[in-house]
A and B are shown apart, each in its own frame.
Chain A
Amino acid sequence: MSEIDRRNFIKGAGALGLAGMSASIGLTVPGLARAASSATVPDVIRKTVASTGEKIPAVGLGSWITFNVGNDMVLRDQCASVVSAFFNAGGRMIDSSPMYGSAQEVIGYCLDKLGAHDRVFSTDKVWTSGDGAGQIAETAERWHTRNFDLLQVHNLVGINENLPLLFRMKDEGRLRYVGITTSHGRRTDDMIALMKNERLDFVQVTYNPVDRKVEEYLLPLAYDRGIAVIVNRPFRGGSLTQQLEGEPLPEFAADLKAESWAQLILKYLIAHPSVTCPIPATTNPAHAAENMRAATGVLPDDKMREQIAAVIGVLV
């Protein structure tokens, strides 16, 4: 979709999301999805990275806390089971950071064990005010990879040095996409300024049915500028789904074929036209597969999204 088309969509729709217009907002219906590398991988909803037109599965996998298991081989193998379930359910994007302890090494271990380096959409970050290039080299070593699909400046740390570094790597063909991240709604003004002035491919922000501030300006801006959006903390670090545990799903969840609150939340996020890929984290392979199933079937329209937010807002 061209830049003009996107702007027309925003003006014409006057609202943030209409699932019925999925074709206009970069959704690819499952039946038309590009075949994954494995023939047994199910089709899932894919969303378009506007800067290239590449389509990626609409749910990813985060690694904050969950993959920081150190040298514990039992827990490392559990992580590998999570990654395996994620890939087998159609997932591709895995996100990490130098800030997350041993998570990068554990991801490298999982990918080695599963022989899955060619299946991952590798997403990591640079998080230093010092030697960004050195940190990226270390990160690549931990992942056992040479090049990343996407590198982001974590929480805008060292942005003046690290962003030019990432653009340079992209220009030299050593990196496919460049992004910036924030969480908990921090440094929004700086984020917006960078989105307006830099040729970013991705931004990563906190967004869920309870934390909706990004809906006001940041998400429409991302849409307008053709910047893909990764959503962190979709379950508020797990506390949101924990609070909802035991509560019956609303009746309309059946219309969406949502089996759990987690799936309902992810469908809420995926249905937003600006959102490219939420990245829930988990230690449970069944949950990884369940999260991926949110990227199948029907997505909520605007009205239903508001209902989801309202119901969850009352319960938490």
Chain B
Amino acid sequence: MSEWWDYGLADFLLFSPRVYYRLFETMNSVWWIAVLAAFVAGLVAAGLAMRHGHRGNRVILVLLALIWGWAGYGFLWQYYQPINWAVAYILPGFVIEAVLLAVFAARPLPLRFGWRGDLTSCVGAGLLVMAFVIYPFVGLIEGRDLIQAELFGSAADPTALGTLGFVLMARGTWRWLLLPVPLIWCVFASATLWVMDQQVAYVMFVAVWLTIFSGWLDLKNGVTTRRLTEAELATPASLSD
């Protein structure tokens, strides 16, 4: 197997930025209804997640499960996988994430979304803003057309970024289960964009470290490990710390 050690990251860049951004242009043109629907669904989920102690947890999880399923099939399988064979190895992760989100929605697991006002919530909200508002339109600054915008809900990068934000906005013992897939995707995307010499690679990289740091803070403060009390489960409004 030693022959595989000879390869560097740049050897696995198989496509040009032109071809990469054309993927979004084609998808946005062909599937515009689905792309817009997924984006709006994400906005609804984000709105619910930001509301203090709202009871929309299950709705958020169902919407996110659908979004991950769509991003996996619509973008990764149909468009990205043909130009990047490495995607085939990551695609099952999108299925796993969608299933996990669906399981969280279906089971009475102690996972609750809501603004807590701590640093982790701020990072989570920041990642949501980045995923919904900033990331899709960064390309405009670089001279790309609006039709090539990478929208949350369909394009994998902002979907993974936003999902990290959602998870950081949540609390509960099992939420860490939802982190590995978006984290792995962000690392993969960051490496790909970096090799393509795209500055936005740093956004994905920073998001990974902010998430890990915030997760560590929560672990340290007991937010992650402490089970929700019966009272908290019964009264979401009491989730504020």
Contact = CB atoms under 8 A, between A and B. Distances in A.
- Do A and B come together as binding partners? yes
Interface of A: 64-66, 68-72, 74-75, 99-102, 105, 129, 155-159, 186-187, 283
Given A68-B19, A72-B22, A102 B4 contact: no
Contacts, number: 57
A101 B6 contact: no
Interface of B: 1, 3-4, 6-7, 13-16, 18-19, 22-23, 26, 78-79, 82-85
A75 B1 contact: no
A69 to B, nearest CB: 5
Given A74-B22, A101-B15, 15 more contacts: A64-B14, A65-B15, A68-B83, A70-B19, A70-B23, A72-B23, A72-B26, A101-B14, A102-B82, A129-B1, A129-B4, A155-B3, A156-B3, A157-B4, A283-B16
A69 B19 CA distance: 6
A102 B83 contact: yes
B16 A159 contact: no
Contacts of B23: 70, 72
A235 B129 CA distance: 42
A186 B19 CA distance: 28
B3 A68 contact: no
Contacts of B19: 68-70, 72, 75
* Residue from B6, B22, B78, B83 having most chain A Cβ neighbours under 10 A: B83
Nearest to B85: A101
The prevalent SS among residues of A at the interface is: loop
Contacts of A102: 82-83
A100 B16 CA distance: 12
Given A75-B22, A101-B15, A70 B4 contact: no
A71 B3 CA distance: 31
A6 B18 CA distance: 46
A105 B14 CA distance: 14
Contacts of A100: 14
Contact of A70 (B7, B18, B79): B79
A163 to B, nearest CB: 13
A100 B1 CA distance: 20
A71 B6 CA distance: 30
B6 A186 contact: yes
A64 B13 CA distance: 9
A66 B17 CA distance: 11
Given A72-B26, A101-B82, A155 B15 contact: no
A29 to B, nearest CB: 37
Nearest to A186: B6
B14 A68 contact: yes
A154 B1 CA distance: 14
Contacts of A70: 15, 19, 23, 79, 82-83
A186 B18 CA distance: 29
A102 B83 CA distance: 5
A157 B2 CA distance: 9
A66 B79 CA distance: 17
* Residue from B6, B15, B22 having most chain A Cβ neighbours under 10 A: B15
Q: Give 3 closest A-B pairs by Cβ, nearest first.
A: A70-B82, A70-B83, A101-B14
Nearest to A187: B6
Contacts of B13: 65
A155 B11 CA distance: 11
Given A101-B14, A101-B15, A129-B1, A69 B6 contact: no
Nearest to B84: A101
A65 B6 contact: no
B85 A158 contact: no
Contact of A68 (B1, B15, B79): B15
B185 to A, nearest CB: 19
Contacts of B26: 72
Contact of A157 (B3, B22, B79): B3
A99 B84 CA distance: 9
Contact of B79 (A64, A71, A99, A101): A71
A55 to B, nearest CB: 33
Given A65-B14, A68-B14, A159 B3 contact: yes
A187 B3 contact: yes
B122 to A, nearest CB: 39
Contact of A71 (B4, B14, B82): B82
A314 to B, nearest CB: 25
29 contacts: A64-B14, A65-B13, A65-B15, A68-B14, A68-B15, A69-B15, A69-B83, A70-B23, A70-B83, A71-B78, A71-B79, A71-B82, A72-B19, A75-B22, A100-B14, A101-B14, A101-B15, A101-B82, A101-B84, A105-B82, A129-B1, A129-B3, A155-B3, A156-B3, A157-B3, A158-B3, A186-B6, A187-B3, A187-B6
